[in-house]
Chains A and B, each alone.
Chain A
Amino acid sequence: MLEFKQIQKSFQTVQGEQVLFSGLDLAIQKNEFVTMVGNNGAGKSSLFKMIVGDMQPDGGDVLLGNHSILSMPTHLKKARIGKVYQDPAAGTIGIMTLLENMALADRKGERVSLQFAIRKSARERYGELLKDLGLGLENKLDTPMKELSGGQRQAVALVMATMKTPQLLLLDEHTAALDPKTARLILDKTQTLVTEKGIMTMMVTHNLQDALSYGNRLIMMREGKIVEDAQGRTRDQLSLSHLLEQFYTA
């Protein structure tokens, strides 16, 4: 379970203090795939940053699996969390080959050792994982990541983030930079991976239709508050027009 408890956060700006969260509460269960929508500046990315430790709340607590993770060293937190963000260049190592990137992800959370990084039979195993994407990446194992397209990199980043089943998967507009066809493919792949492995997932998107089509719980945020939280039958009955309406009633 992931839990935000009474989160407080404000920023000092030139216009004075700007409050983002004033006592936000949110709990997400293990089997949930939450899609998150909300206008620019609503605080979606900030929530993610507070989970991984790139931002500290002024008050409140963040719990993962019943333990507060606020004071845990960032790299240890990240070892348990998979994440894919908007920038395709940010999720993989550009100068290393696809095979080498996969080998690193394969050892996520392990103590760094002097064993050879690429295990025996790695090539076949990674090939299989990539083949599922249907992008022909299994034939590009020796290509440096930076020579792949943004969509290809994003697909690899997703596979890498879920290779060692994480406790929590964070996706922040991870298909925003992709063409509609590739975006669809990555979203379908996301849904399959998350369901198969039973990964607790939060996915931010600006595409309302995607937010309805994927996942099993929908949260809409506005100015640091949760204004819509639908799951089960309520969510199934949500319509795009209703969501749009919500969006424009500020």
Chain B
Amino acid sequence: MDFLSLLEQGLIFGIMAVGIVISFRILNFPDLSVDGSFALGAAVSASVLINGGSAILATLAAIIAGFAAGSATGLIHAKGKVDGILSGILVMIGLYSVNLRIMGKSNIPLFAVNHLFASKEGSLLKIVLIVAAVKIVIDLFLRTHAGFVLRALGDNTKVVEGLGVNPGNYKVLGLGLANGLVALSGGLMSQYQGFADISMGIGSLVTGLASIILGESLLKRFGFIGVTTIAIVGSVIYRVILAMAIHYGLQPSDLKLVTALILLVILILEKKMGGKYARV
């Protein structure tokens, strides 16, 4: 097993898990558009790169595109009064076509262009820096007035409205932020693996949820540990588990089933132990 690349992948997917923590845990919003916005990040970043854009530009463009996609889910739900789950599904399906449009074909190789991880040299350092930056920014954000409003929204929209805040606007903002991070993760992953593929996002949401729940069940019993740490650490541990599954003879194509089973087992175990951590 190549532990370095497991760690690197775990950290990159950790950014996605932080995004999912924001929608599922903080906003309490079952955002099913994640698979689409992860692939969107990859598609946007790859097409900026092959059109001569810099790696920084490609990565920023991925974040902005993800923010727009998340806002779309939020707007459909908050202004269009469509059920939350359905809003996410609509955006996810729509994004499949959008992503194909952006890419022009179903796979874009990035071996010929310069990007963040064109040389594997120093990749761990770059990834650690990016993930640390994301973690610090989100941790700080959650302590601001706006951050408090998002946390409050996940619990009681009426109280938020009573404070003179329009709840819909902040749901849109929160979902934008969440999917901006998911797309950032997708953009980084496409550069890391050297290609973007239209099917890259499939299973992202379940993977992310499994990571978060894993992180929660392992870390929460040690007292106060922030949601961002839980997401990132959970994501790394989850990669290691998947690698072990392959090491012991499973095919990479079996991994989605493994993910589903892991999630199922954790959910059942946690419910049995009082359901303290498992909350999807």
Residues of A whose CB lies within 8 Å of any CB of B are 73-76, 78-80, 83, 90-96, 100, 103-105, 107-110, 112-118
The total of interchain contacts (Cβ-Cβ below 8 angstroms) comes to: 76
CB distance from B186 to the nearest CB of A (A): 26
Given contacts A76-B164, A112-B145, 11 further A-B contacts (CB under 8 A): A74-B161, A93-B152, A93-B155, A94-B156, A95-B154, A104-B148, A108-B163, A109-B163, A112-B146, A114-B141, A115-B145
Rounded to whole Å, the gap between the CB of A247 and the closest CB of chain B is 32
Query: How far in angstroms is the closest Cβ of chain A from B153?
Result: 9
| Chain B minimum-CB-distance residue to A115 | B145
A94, A96, A107: the one within 8 Å of B163 (CB)? A107
**Complex partner residue of A95 from B143, B155, B162, B164, CB under 8 angstroms:** B155
Interface contact B155-A94, CB-CB below 8 Å: yes
| Bound-complex Cα distance A73 to B164 (A) | 10
Q: Main SS of the interface on chain B?
A: helix
- Is B70 at the interface (CB under 8 A from chain A)? no
Can you name 28 A-B residue pairings with CB atoms under 8 Å? A74-B161, A75-B166, A76-B164, A78-B162, A78-B163, A79-B163, A79-B164, A90-B158, A93-B151, A93-B152, A93-B155, A96-B152, A103-B148, A104-B149, A104-B152, A108-B164, A109-B163, A109-B164, A110-B164, A112-B145, A112-B170, A113-B146, A115-B144, A115-B145, A116-B143, A117-B144, A117-B145, A117-B148
B167: interface (CB < 8 Å): yes
Question: Which single residue of chain A is at the shortest CB-CB distance from B163?
Answer: A108
Residues on B with beta carbons closer than 8 Å to the beta carbon of A78:
161-164
- CB < 8 Å neighbour of B166 from A73, A108, A116: A73
- In the bound complex, what is the Cα–Cα distance between A91 and B156 (angstroms)? 9
The 10 A-B pairs with the shortest beta carbon distances in the complex, nearest first, are: A79-B164, A117-B148, A109-B164, A93-B152, A75-B166, A117-B145, A95-B155, A108-B163, A114-B144, A78-B162
Q: How many residues in B have their beta carbons less than 8 Å from beta carbons of A?
A: 23
Question: Across the interface, do A91 and B159 meet the contact criterion of CB distance under 8 Å?
Answer: yes
Cβ–Cβ contact A105 & B154, under 8 A: no
Give bound CA distance, A190 to B98, whole Å. 57
Question: Would you give the shortest CB distance from B146 to chain A, in whole angstroms?
Answer: 5
> Are the C-beta atoms of A93 and B162 separated by less than 8 Å?
no
Within 8 A of A (CB), among B208-255: none
Tell me the smallest distance from the CB of B200 to a CB of chain A, in Å: 33
Q: Is B30 an interface residue (CB 8 A)?
A: no
A104 to B162 CA separation, bound complex (whole angstroms): 11
CA distance A53 to B155 in the complex (A): 21
Pick the contact of A113: B145, B155, B162, B163 (CB < 8 A): B145
Highest count of chain A CB atoms <10 Å: which of B155, B162, B163, B165: B162
In the bound complex, CA of A78 to CA of B158 (Å) = 10
A74 cross-chain contacts in B, Cβ below 8 A: 161
Q: Give the docked Cα–Cα distance between A113 and B159 (Å).
A: 18
Q: Of residues 166 to 188 in B, which have CB atoms within 8 Å of A's CB atoms? A: 166-167, 170
Whether B144 contacts A116 by the Cβ 8 Å rule is: yes
- Contact between B144 and A113, CB atoms less than 8 A apart: yes
Alpha-carbon distance A79/B165, docked complex (angstroms): 8
**Cβ distance B251 to chain A, nearest Cβ, rounded Å:** 42
B146 touches A114 (CB 8 A): yes
Q: Which residues of B contact A116 (CB under 8 A)?
A: 143-145
Q: Tell whether, in the assembled complex, residue A117 and residue B147 are in contact, meaning their CB atoms are under 8 Å apart.
A: yes
CB of A75 within 8 A of CB of B165, answer: yes
Closest chain-A Cβ to B148's Cβ sits at a distance in Å of: 4
Give chain A residues whose Cβ lies under 8 Å from the Cβ of B170: 112
Q: CB distance A96 to B155 under 8 Å?
A: yes
- A90 near B156: Cβ-Cβ < 8 Å: yes
B167: contacting residue among A75, A93, A107, CB under 8 A: A75
Interface hits, B59-110 → A, CB 8 Å: none
Q: Determine how close the nearest CB of chain A comes to the CB of B165; give it in whole angstroms.
A: 6
Tell me the minimal C-beta distance from A86 to chain B in angstroms.
13
CB distance from B13 to the nearest CB of A (A): 26
Q: How far is the CB of B190 from chain A (nearest CB, A)?
A: 31
Shortest distance between the CB of A186 and any CB in chain B (Å):
18
Q: Please, how many angstroms separate the alpha-carbon atoms of A134 and B152 in the complex? A: 27
Given contacts A75-B167, A117-B143, A118-B143, contact A112 B149 (CB under 8 A): yes
